Amino acid sequence: MANVQSVDVKLQVSEHDHAHDHDEHEESFVSKYIFSLDHKMISRQFLLTAIIMAVVAMTMSIVFRMQLAWPGEKFAFINAMVGDKWGKDGILDPNMYLALVTIHGTIMVFFVLTGGLSGTFANLLIPYQVGARDMASGFLNMLSYWFFFVSSVIMLGSLFIDDGPASGGWTIYPPLSALPEAMPGSKLGMTLWLISMTLFVVSSLLGGINYIVTIINLRTKGMKMTRMPLTMWAILITAILGVLSFPVLVSCVVLLICDRSLGTSFYLSDIYIGGRPLDNVGGSPVLFEHLFWFLGHPEVYIVLLPALGITSEIISTNSRKPIFGYRAMIGSMLAIGFLSFIVWGHHMFLTGMNPFLGSVFVFTTLLIAIPSAVKAFNYITTLWKGNIQYTPAMLFSIGLVSSFVTGGVTGIILADSTLDINVHDTYFVVAHFHIVMGLSAIFGMFAGVYHWFPKMFLRMMNKKLGYLHFWLTFICAYGVFFPMHFLGLAGVPRRYYTNSNFPLFDNLVDINEIVTVFAIVAALAQFIFIFNFFYSIFRGEKSPQNPWNSNTLEWTTPMANIHGNWPGSLPVVHRWAYDYSKPGAEHDFIPQTVPLADGENDGGGH
Amino acid sequence: MKLLILIGLVLLIIAAHQLMRVVELSREFKKTKEWHITDSDNSFNGKLMLFIGGFGLIGFLFWQINRWADNSLPGAASVHGLKIDTLWDYNMYLIIVVFVLTNAVLFWFAYKYAGKKGVKATFLAHDNRLEMAWTIAPAVVLAGIIIFGLKYWNEITERSTDPNKVTIELYAKQFDWTARYAGKDKVLGSTDYRQIDGGNSVGLDTLDATGYDDILVKIEFHIPVNREIEFKMRSRDVIHSAYMPHFRAQMNCVPGMVTEFKFTPNKTTAEMRKDPYVIQLMAGINEARAKKGDEPIEFDYILLCNKICGSGHFNMPMTIVVESEKEYNAWLAKQKAVKTIETK
């Protein structure tokens, strides 16, 4: 099948060449901007959708952070955001609180950091960096975006229904999510959540298969696997993880739909709710948890790996040095990818799962710290004796290394089942995953946008606004998530509408207030980015062909979004992507298309 | 008023637009482009990396420890909990050292190697010895963490074999807890969820006579100090989690299953109230309460729900009282056995 597709694309491509030889290729508005088959346009579509989704999810977080810092206070803002039904007099309803944390998590994890991050950068970079005219199948690629779009619309639509959106947490554990009697969000809202996520998985699979096929089959001449930029390796491994794990989420969701609608008992047993015993016997919610986390844990790396790939590229380029330990970086990503499939049980130490099974997961989970440590040290060594160019992208990349370490070390605590007992499901966990996964991935995404903006929109973003955006975001992000560790140490559970019902938590009010103030400033800081982004699309300075003096192939394409990417024949690759500051070279970068000189070694030898 | 705001906004947008025009026009005349990274950009951001990233972030950790560490849970009030605390401390010291060193080196390099014109970076692609070193070092450290962690984990989770144990069932539902004691026959009666009704809230099987003397309590339950307490957890409706933070104890309550957790409390509530750390903790809490105009409170052990279970998730407290064997027996004797169940 893969081969058929690649042949298909080659045929398409020769047609494009033909068109360029004679006349400009005429395109209608619909085929250019809406149902586009072009990877660059699809990438921009993913990015714009993700930005909109991110603003929604961020606004939600401000609403529930205000509730947590000042419970019982009346805010016109809350009333304006959730309306009279859920925010009467400006006080948030407890069910809406749960709905907001649920949809915030769902949107950030799936729609922004999976669909948005992979969708944007896999689509933009794969054909550019492997030297292909387009993705293996432009049509599947278009379908991938439109499934993503429909699933986003359904997810947002669920916010406006009468009973409110899904509210059982982004992990939607049954029976809470299975029984409409359990909470209002488990009525129509949960149905829409399940439909939306199923479509999302379809989108993710169509995209993922396409990414894998393109990287494996459509590399240009000379682009050996071991010459690929690390972004390509990261996206390849991410796509493989997605293709192997997302279908399990679908099976998990389909069984839940059966339990909800068809009276089956996969996850339900011995339940008395709404004043009557249910007929369901023999199922187990623990089965759901296994299926969910079989996706859920690789998902963490689906979110993180593209960010790590993007920043590897940016840190090397802007340190003007080869990435340190190219092969070790690939090896650690492969190890992380493999291990990510056998660690899911660390989310389930206290679910009633056999404790011996827990021990196995402790072992595999702590193993994953080794390749992660290797990656962090390799990043740091790349900076050593570099000539660091502080583009906004570089700032965010260094921010990622910091958050990857800061959030990563607490993972060592949580992976240890013995220590997990007392901090499981507390704010310690919230702090951990927001820093290691949320911040790192979003920093990677910002880095990618700042770095490849010239390729996407042919113009430059404003540097000074980028600096301001980074420093405010960096300070506020740590200001939001670092103090949460201390809430966890005091034993505060997550997903509590308010802590004021437990007098023992009364001394923690100032932590919650500090967190919320940082969150509000951080949210406002994002509007600097949004302004810079949209302003620069239309009025930014025109970009030269290779603004960052980078080696990879995308910077050899002309500064125009043309079909087929390169006007003439495809470039031929002669070296790896990291020949920065090579001794004896005239410039401090040697693009991949430059042939090796006599006696010159490829891949870091010199 | 709204009109004024609207006019103000429009004027603001016009002003911003004019300002942008000026900036755009002026940049036409400049030789260097706005986005070019200059030495002063590099030096400025390099310094911020050192001061905000390096000193700022690491300083922030210690500022927080100084300010908030005393709000943390008191030392464990259970035998296994003390082991968890020891292990926790070692792990915490370790990760704080790693956090400080790694961030310090990262931000130091980010400052030291900020770009300057004319400087060429050192071409260094890999170094096998270094890479081996930082693969092996974490592996060795992690091996230690795994060995100690699993040793304790096995001890904590092995089935209770103590003949002198007290068995208590914790029954969760939306949104409260019921604790069930075995009564005189020392056997918890079997249950059947189909028999739940107004008078039989935990679903005791009316055909099982061993359940007739069971004792049900709400809001507060008592346990004797220095005896192993074996908890059997059940849920009526959705997943809940029984979290008893002071004892370092937590286990999910899953519909259709009976889960277990055991621990031996080693400090009574009264002893805990005299603990110097707890006294300062409660002083802080009562100070915060006084500001809100609330009455001061005394320390109590608590049970909370720690798995999202619906709108009342945040409000499922139960007080735990740890007391001497004698006090416990006296309390238990005062509790009434289940009588509301009709016997067939």
Residues A55 and A104: beta-carbon distance below 8 Å: no
- Is A536 a member of any domain? yes
pLDDT digits (tens, 9 = 90+) for A548-598: 999 999 999 998 888 899 998 999 999 999 999 999 888 899 999 999 988
- Is A122 a member of any domain? yes
Q: A236 and A340 in one domain?
A: no
How many angstroms away from the CA of B222 is the closest CA of chain A?
19
Q: A122 and A251 in one domain?
A: yes
* pLDDT for the residue A12: 47
For residues A57-84, give the mean pLDDT. 94
For residues A356-377, give the mean pLDDT. 94
* pLDDT for the residue A195: 96
Q: Is A367 close to B142, i.e. CB distance below 8 A?
A: yes
- Is A308 a member of any domain? no
Window A:521-580, CB contacts with B under 8 Å:
535, 539, 541, 547, 578, 580
pLDDT reading at B341 higher than 60: no
pLDDT reading at A8 higher than 70: no
Q: Is B87 close to A580, i.e. CB distance below 8 A?
A: no
Q: A75 and A194 in one domain?
A: yes
User: Tokens 């996206």 sit at which residue?
Assistant: A235
Give the residue, B150 or A606, on which the prediction is more confident.
Answer: B150
Which pTM does this prediction carry? Answer: 0.93
Q: A447 and A327 in one domain?
A: yes
Q: Provide CB contacts within 8 A for B250, sequence distance 6+.
A: A350, A421, A422, A424, A425, B241, B242, B243, B244, B261, B306
**Lowest-confidence segment of A428-432, B132-136, B320-324 by average pLDDT:** B132-136
- Is A356 a member of any domain? yes
pLDDT reading at A13 higher than 50: no
How far is C-alpha A427 from the geometric centre of its chain's CA atoms?
Answer: 22
Confirm or reject contact between A503 and chain B (CB < 8 A).
yes
pLDDT digits (tens, 9 = 90+) for B219-257: 999 999 999 999 999 999 999 999 999 999 999 999 999
* pLDDT for the residue A59: 96
pLDDT reading at B3 higher than 90: no
Calculate the average pLDDT of chain A.
92
Q: A206 and A73 in one domain?
A: yes
- Is A337 a member of any domain? yes
For residues A383-409, give the mean pLDDT. 96
What order of strands is seen across the sheet that includes strand B301-305?
B220-224, B318-323, B301-305, B240-244, B249-253
Domains and their CATH numbers in chain B? 39-116+129-158 (no CATH), 166-334 (2.60.40.420)
pLDDT digits (tens, 9 = 90+) for A201-248: 999 999 999 999 999 999 999 999 999 999 999 999 999 999 999 999
Q: A530 and A563 in one domain?
A: no
User: Which residues in chain A have Cβ-Cβ distances shorter than 8 Å to B115?
Assistant: 320, 386-390
3-state secondary structure (DSSP) of residue B249: strand
Q: A104 and A230 in one domain?
A: yes
pLDDT tier, A2 (very low <50, low <70, confident <90, very high otherwise): very low
User: Tokens 């001890």 sit at which residue?
Assistant: B155
Confirm or reject contact between A393 and chain B (CB < 8 A).
no
pLDDT digits (tens, 9 = 90+) for B152-176: 999 999 988 889 999 999 999 999 9
* Alpha carbons A601 and A583: distance in angstroms, whole number: 12
CATH number of the domain bearing residue A113 = 1.20.210.10
ipTM for the assembly: 0.93
Q: Is B110 close to A398, i.e. CB distance below 8 A?
A: yes
* pLDDT for the residue A18: 44
- pLDDT more than 70, % of chain A: 95
Give the residue, A599 or B100, on which the prediction is more confident.
Answer: B100
pLDDT tier, B6 (very low <50, low <70, confident <90, very high otherwise): confident
Q: Which residue of B has its CA nearest to A378?
A: B131
For residues A459-475, give the mean pLDDT. 96
Confirm or reject contact between A83 and chain B (CB < 8 A).
no
Q: A263 and A372 in one domain?
A: no
Task: Select the residue of A359, A376, A387 nearest B153 (Cβ to Cβ).
Answer: A359
How far is C-alpha A188 from the geometric centre of its chain's CA atoms?
Answer: 27
For residues B211-223, give the mean pLDDT. 94
User: Which residues in chain B have Cβ-Cβ distances shorter than 8 Å to A281?
Assistant: 256
- Is A524 a member of any domain? yes
Q: A462 and A331 in one domain?
A: yes
Q: Is A271 close to B122, i.e. CB distance below 8 A?
A: no
* pLDDT for the residue A27: 72
pLDDT digits (tens, 9 = 90+) for A491-514: 999 999 999 999 999 999 999 999
* Alpha carbons B267 and B244: distance in angstroms, whole number: 14
- Which long-range CB contacts under 8 A does B128-133 form with residues at least 24 apart? B130/A377, B130/A381, B131/A325, B131/A328, B131/A374, B131/A378
pLDDT tier, B322 (very low <50, low <70, confident <90, very high otherwise): very high
How many angstroms away from the CA of A533 is the closest CA of chain B?
14
For residues A449-469, give the mean pLDDT. 96
Give the residue, B289 or B342, on which the prediction is more confident.
Answer: B289
Q: Which residue of A has its CA nearest to B300?
A: A504
- pLDDT more than 70, % of chain B: 97
How many domains does the structure of chain A reveal? 3
pLDDT digits (tens, 9 = 90+) for A328-343: 999 999 999 999 999 9
* pLDDT for the residue B13: 87
* pLDDT for the residue A572: 95
pLDDT reading at A10 higher than 70: no
* pLDDT for the residue B14: 87
Which of A490, A513, A542 lies at the terminal end of a domain, its last residue? A542
* pLDDT for the residue A402: 97
Which of A518, A542, A566 lies at the terminal end of a domain, its last residue? A542
* pLDDT for the residue A20: 46
- pLDDT more than 90, % of chain A: 89
Task: Select the residue of B88, B121, B139 nearest A581 (Cβ to Cβ).
Answer: B121
3-state secondary structure (DSSP) of residue A322: coil
Which of A542, A565, A587 lies at the terminal end of a domain, its last residue? A542
pLDDT reading at A606 higher than 90: no
* pLDDT for the residue A127: 96
* Residue A394 main-chain phi, psi, to 5 deg: -70, -40
pLDDT digits (tens, 9 = 90+) for A157-206: 999 999 999 999 999 999 999 999 999 999 999 999 999 999 999 999 99
Q: What angle do CA A424, A426, A428 make, to 5 degrees?
A: 90
Q: A227 and A94 in one domain?
A: yes
* Alpha carbons B168 and A312: distance in angstroms, whole number: 54
Q: A361 and A261 in one domain?
A: no
Q: How many CB atoms lie within 10 A of CB A95?
A: 18
* Alpha carbons A533 and A362: distance in angstroms, whole number: 43
Confirm or reject contact between A183 and chain B (CB < 8 A).
yes
pLDDT reading at A6 higher than 80: no
- Is A266 a member of any domain? yes
* pLDDT for the residue A19: 42
pLDDT reading at A604 higher than 80: no
Residues A150 and A262: beta-carbon distance below 8 Å: no
- Is A26 a member of any domain? no
Instruction: Please report how the helices A285-319 and A369-383 are oriented relative to each other, as an axis angle in degrees rounded to 10.
Output: 20
**Lowest-confidence segment of A257-266, A318-327, A381-390, B123-132 by average pLDDT:** B123-132
Q: A393 and A338 in one domain?
A: yes
> Which of B240, B311, B318, B320 should we substitute to test contact with A (largest number of A Cβ atoms within 10 Å)?
B311
For residues A401-406, give the mean pLDDT. 96
* pLDDT for the residue B20: 80
Residue A418 belongs to domain spanning = 314-542
* pLDDT for the residue B340: 53
B/e letters for A11-36, b = 16+ CB within 10 Å, e = fewer, are ebbeebbeeeeeeeeeeeeeeeeeeb
* pLDDT for the residue A599: 84
